[in-house]
Amino acid sequence: MEEKREDSLQEVAAAGKGERRGGFLGEALFLARRHVVFLSLVAFIAVMPFWAKPLSKPLGIPLVMVMRLVGIYTIVAVGLNILMGYAGQISLGHGAFFGIGAYTSAILTVKAHFPPWLGIIMAVLVAIAFGFLVAPVLRLKGHYLAMATLGVGIVLFVFLREMTWLTGGNDGIRNIPPLSLPGMRIGEARDYLRAEYYFIWVIALIVLLLCSNLVRSRLGRAMRALHQSEVAAEVMGVNVSWEKIKVFVLSTALAGLAGGIFAHVQGYIDPNLFTIVLSIQLVTMVVVGGMESIWGAVAGAGLITFIPKIVEALPKWLGEVPRWVEKYSNYEGMVFGLILVLTMIFMPAGITRGLSDMVRYRRSPFVNPFRKKAME
């Protein structure tokens, strides 16, 4: 008996050091250590509504409501982060794929009376189909790819706006049924905000877990290889064009998923929600959260979604604010623009990566670009 206990203590110690040992406890601790970020996020998300409710009023920010949106944007941002951060392929058209997801689910539930959960699944499938349709642009590189995906976003937006027989044009679609699962009414529940919140975050956390596994898989290594040098990756036996298409379609599928959920949470959609502005906002989330960082996507989505809400709440905190703060929506572009430019100049790997490097390597996260010697 005594010996056995000794054994399991050793296991715990071994697991603490990150070594894998047999036995249930050791296994569990090993997994817990490996997924420490994920588990702490789960814990945070699970208890958040309980302390958020009494806090929302004095803060002037409906925390649970905003966190629903953060969850939705997290789903897109993770996909885009894999595409941009890991595979190095930029997309300036993901707002449109988000819109396609939203419209698919909205049209199917409003006009064909699908249940919302089926509508969301169809949204993912349609987004995948469009992803494959657009995939040929991945042959392009760098600036050309950026402009082509921008063009894709514009074309899809124009079609969403002009196909009035299907999408309702600029008037959009109203009275989209709220979220529900078979036998569960989520969006019409008594505490529907909290129900939607948990629904969205369960999906977002599953997506996060899958993606964090994915980037450590063969596909993940292939993506990082082709990011560094497509030729070298090709030589090493990576099927570059097919891997790029896979990653791109994955990211459009996630955008479609998020869009489908978004439509049911909002209840109405119109094409002007899904313009280039949204695409750039999504890119900003990835940049702020940090390239090559799955968990950074949560931080990026959270920060970008919360900034406007905090500014809106400022008058409540401070009593009186200058007039220009109240007209924040006009300045939003300037704030995002500055975030993008300054991040690129001073922390090209993104803010979370820059800060975590600072902690890890005990060095300044800022590279001083003005002090570098001239290139030539």
Distance CA 172, CA 155 (A): 17
**C-beta of 235: minimal distance to other proteins in Å?**
10
372 burial level (CB within 10 Å; 0-12, 13-18, 19+): exposed
- Please list every residue from 211 through 250 that binds other proteins, using CB under 8 A: 231
Distance CA 44, CA 54 (A): 16
Query: In terms of CB distance, is 256 or 271 closer to other proteins?
Result: 271
Give 3-state DSSP helix, strand, coil % of the chain, rounded to 5.
75, 0, 20
**C-beta of 350: minimal distance to other proteins in Å?**
10
Q: Is 80 in the site for other proteins (CB under 8 A)?
A: no
In the 3-class helix/strand/coil scheme, how is 212-225 assigned residue by residue?
HHHCCCHHHHHHHH
**C-beta of 94: minimal distance to other proteins in Å?**
13
Tokens of 353: 């990566």
The DSSP code sequence of 324-370 is: HHHTHHHHHHHHHHHHHHHHHHH-TT-HHHHHHHHHHHTS-S---GG
Q: Which of 12, 31, 118, 147 forms a contact with other proteins (CB under 8 A)?
A: 147
Based on DSSP, count helices (H) and strands (E) in the chain, helices before strands: 17, 2
Q: Which of 12, 146, 311, 313 forms a contact with other proteins (CB under 8 A)?
A: 146
Contact (Cβ atoms closer than 8 angstroms) between residue 97 and residue 254: no
Q: Is 202 in the site for other proteins (CB under 8 A)?
A: no
- Please list every residue from 122 through 141 that binds other proteins, using CB under 8 A: 136-137, 139-141
Q: Which stretch binds other proteins (CB under 8 A): 44-52, 71-79, 246-254, 333-341?
A: 333-341
Query: In terms of CB distance, is 113 or 371 closer to other proteins?
Result: 371
**C-beta of 85: minimal distance to other proteins in Å?**
9
Looking at residue 268, its amino acid is Y
- Please list every residue from 303 through 332 that binds other proteins, using CB under 8 A: 330-332
Query: In terms of CB distance, is 250 or 282 closer to other proteins?
Result: 282
Q: Which of 46, 344, 363, 364 forms a contact with other proteins (CB under 8 A)?
A: 344
Distance CA 81, CA 251 (A): 9
Contact (Cβ atoms closer than 8 angstroms) between residue 173 and residue 238: no
**C-beta of 341: minimal distance to other proteins in Å?**
4
Q: Which of 25, 154, 202, 307 forms a contact with other proteins (CB under 8 A)?
A: 154
Distance CA 47, CA 59 (A): 18
**C-beta of 305: minimal distance to other proteins in Å?**
17
Residue 20 neighbours by CB under 8 Å, 6+ apart: 26, 27, 30
Tokens 């790819």, residue? 145
Q: Is 165 in the site for other proteins (CB under 8 A)?
A: no
Nearest to 61 by CA among 368, 241, 291, 315: 315
Query: In terms of CB distance, is 175 or 368 closer to other proteins?
Result: 368
Q: Is 1 in the site for other proteins (CB under 8 A)?
A: no
Q: Which of 17, 143, 190, 323 forms a contact with other proteins (CB under 8 A)?
A: 143
Contact residues for other proteins, defined by CB under 8 A: 84, 88, 90, 92, 136-137, 139-144, 146-148, 150-152, 154-155, 158-159, 161-162, 164, 231, 276, 280, 283, 287, 330-334, 336-341, 344-345, 348, 369-370, 372, 374-376
